[in-house]
Structure 1
Amino acid sequence: MASRAVLEFIDRLDRLGIEATGAEVVDAANYMLKQRLAVEPDRWGNKPLGDHWLQRFLKHHPNIRVVKRRARERERKEAVNYANIKAWFDKWIPFLAEHGFAANEIWNMDETGFMIGFGRDQWVVTRVEKKVSQNLSIAMPQNRETSTVIEAISAAGDVIPPMIVLKGKRHMAKWYDESIPLDGGALIGVSDSGYTNSDLALEWIKHFHRHTKQRCAGRKRLLLFDNHETHLTMEFIEFADEKGIVLLTLPPDTAHILQPLDVGVFQPYKHHHSQAVNAAVKDGAIDFNKLDFLACISDERKKTFKSAAPARAPTSANPSADAVRQLGKAAEAGKLGQILACKDLARTKTAEYVRRLRKEQANRQIQSGGVVRYENGRKRKAERDEQERVKAARKAERSRLAKHSSEDNGNNEGYPLEEDNGLNEEYIPVKRIK
C-alpha cells in the first residue's frame, strides 16, 4: 500500500513535468509512514526510514530509474524555444476547455525575494555641474537580509492577502503593532534563511484555500505555478486533491517568460519597494529593517495591484498650461519653496516619530516558528501588552505601599507600635512619665 502511494507520487510529478528527487521520494515515504503510525502505532513502530531504504525501493521496482538532471542554466536556455512552449499550450487550451474553469477559478501563484533595506540608483534633478553630478550618491542602509513574499492572483483580477516569510526563528510582538497597516488576513512565517520551505508552502496552500473557497462557490480551482520543489511535497499535493485544487505547472525553466506574476507584477513590486527605501533614507532612516519592511509592504502592494481607474475629464482645454500658470503664480508669490519645505519637514518628522515608537517597543516574542495570521498576531500582542500593563501597575502599587509604610515607620520613631489587631483605629501616642 505504501509503495503504491509512493509510486503514484512519482507518476504525478512525472505528469507535471518535474521529476522527483531522491530526497522527495524519501520524504513522501516518511509521510506515508507517519500516516500509518497514527492508525497502527504498535505495528509500524516509531522510527523513520533507514538510510538505505531508497536503494531497496529501487531494487524492488526496476521500472523506476535514476537519471541525471542537467544543470539549470543549460536547461533554461534550451527550454525557451517555440516548439516546447507551443507543445505546452497545445495541452493547456484543451485542458481549460475540458474543465470549464471560469476566470475567477484560475489562479496563479509565485514567490519573490526582497532584500529588505536595499535601494536602487535614482534619477535626480539638480543644478550641480555635470562633472560633479557624475559622482553624486546617497548613503543607503544596504540591509541585504532576505524576505520572501508569496502572492496569488486570479484571471478575473482578484488578489488574496500575501504570505510574508521573514528570516528568524521567532515571531516578535512588535511586528504586529497597530501602526503597521498590513492586511489582517496576511500570513507571516519565519525560516532560518528568509526563503520558503515545504512546511511553509503547505501552510500557504491552506491559506489559499481559506481565501478562495467562498469565491468559487464549491467549484474546483486551477492553481498555475512553477515547479519549485517546496511546492511539490506529498502533503501539498494531497491537500490540493482533497480541497478540489487542480495543480498545473508551467513548462520547466520557462517561468521567467511565462509566469504571469513574475513577468507582469514582481518587477513593479520591487520598484515600489526600492522607492520606499529611498524615501525612508530621505526622511532620515539610517537602518531599514523588518519593521520598516512590514510597514511599507502594504502601500507597495496597493501601488502594484491597483485597478485601472477611469480617466478624469480635463477641466480645461489645456490642463498642462493651467498647471504651469498655477506654479508660476505660486513662485511669483515666493511661497512655493516654503510650502514644499514645510511639507517635506512635516513628513520627515512624522516618519521619524513613528519609526522611533515602533523600535522602542519591548523585544518580546509571541510565538516560536510556524506561521501567524496577522490579525491574530495583533490580538496576541494586545493581550501581551495588557498583561504587561497590569503587571507594571501592580508593581507600581507595591512600590507605593512600601514607600508609604516606610514613611509611617519614620514618623513613629520613638513610640511603641501597637500590634495590628485588624482595626482601623487612629494611633494616639502616650506621654512618658518621668
Structure 2
Amino acid sequence: MLLSEEITLPCGLRLPNRLCKAAMAESMSPSHIPDKRHARAYEDWADGGWGLILTGNVQIGDTYLGTPEDVAILKRPSAAAKEIKDCWNVWASTCQRNGTPAIVQINHPGRQSPFWCGRRSFFAKTIAPSPVELNLGSSVVERYAVSFVFGTPRELTIEEISGEGGIIDQYVEAAKVSFDAGFKGVQLHGAHGYLLTQFLSPRTNLRTDEFGGSSAKRAEIVLRIIHGIRKVTNREFCIGIKMNSVDASTSDSVSDVLEQIKLIVEAGIDFIEISGGTYENALMTRVTDALPDPDSAATKKTAARESFFLEFAKTVRDTFPNLILMVTGGFRSRVGMEEAITSGACDLIGIGRPSAVLPKLPKEIILNTEEVSDEEAHVALTPVQIPFLVWMIPIKQVGAGFQTEYYGQQIRRMGNGLRPRDTRLRASEMGRL
C-alpha cells in the first residue's frame, strides 16, 4: 500500500508514510505563545502514526492576527524571551517525540485581520499589496460588515515589504524561530486569501512595481522569503507552501499560476500543498463530511470525488512530474486516499477535520490494514449543525466560520486534556444522507 510507504522530500526530510495532519485553526493561545495546552493537544497527534504534522497558523508578528488567540512570533525583552523559547522547544519536541517530523505553518492575514485581532490601534488599517476591500456580498449588511470588521486595507510600501524588519524579514524570522526550536521546517501559507495569496492573485495585487504587474512579479515576495529562509537555516530545513488551486471564482489563469509554481520550484521549495478558497469564497470549508455512497467506496468514481482540489493537482503534476504535491480537502476513506496516490495526482494526503476528531486516525484506522478492512477504513463525520440564528445572519461566510470554530473547539478539548467528541456517523445513519 503506497499510503504506508516512506517518502523523502528534496531537502532530505524523510516522512514515514503519506498521511499528513493538516494545519487547522486552533485559537487557543491568549498569550500568543505555544503553551501547555499546545503540548497536550499535539501529544495525541504525535502518538497517532502520522507521516507529517503541520501545526496550526503561526502569525509572523502580533500586530495583525487572524484570531485573537493565534500563536505569533513575539518581540519581547530578554527575560521573557527565554520563557518563550522554552515553550517553543517543548512544542517541537512534543510533536516529534515518536519520530514524526513536524513543520510550522507561518502566515500573515493581510486584509483578513479583524479590527479586534492584533496589537494595532483601533483606527489602524489592515495592510495588503493593494487597497482592495474584501467582498463578502452585495447586500447592505454584507458591505457594512466588511467596512466595520475589516475596512479597506492600505497599500504596503516597498520598504515595508522588503526593507529591514519588513514583511519578508518577518517571515524569515518566523522560520528561524521554528528552526531553532527543533521543528523540521515551515510551510508558507499562500492560500485562503491571506497576505501571500493577496500578492499572488491579480485580483488583489494591482501593483506595477517589483512586487506586481505580472504573474512573475506577483510571486517575487514568495521567492525572496524562500531564499531568505535558506540563508538563516540550512538545506535540510524543509520549506513548503500552501497555494490556492484555480477555480471559476477567481481571476487567476491556469498559465499564470503554473508560471508562479515554476518560479517557486526553482527557488527550492520542497513541497506544495494544493488548497483553495478565501474569506470571500470559502472553498476550503465546503467538505462533504459523510461518505455519500458507502456501498461503492471501492470504486474509482467515489475515490475521485473525495478531494476538492485533486483535479488541479493533476494539472500541476502534468507540468511538474517531480514536484512533491500534497492535497487536502475531503479525503475520508483509505480507498480514496490510496487511489489519489496511485493515480500520481499527489504524493501526500492532508487530513484536517477527521484528525481533530480522531487524532490517531492513521495508526488506528487508515494504516491498520491487519485489523481494519478497506470497507471499514473510512471516517464519515456528522455534519455540523449550524444553529438557526446563525442561518438567519445574511452573510454566508458566518456559517463557514461556525464550522471552522467547531473543529477548533475539538482541538481545544485536546489541549485541556479531554478527548475530542466522537462525531462519526454510524452505518445506519450514513444511508439517510
After TM superposition, the score normalised by the length of structure 1 is 0.22
After TM superposition, the score normalised by the length of structure 2 is 0.22
Q: Which has the higher helix share?
A: 1
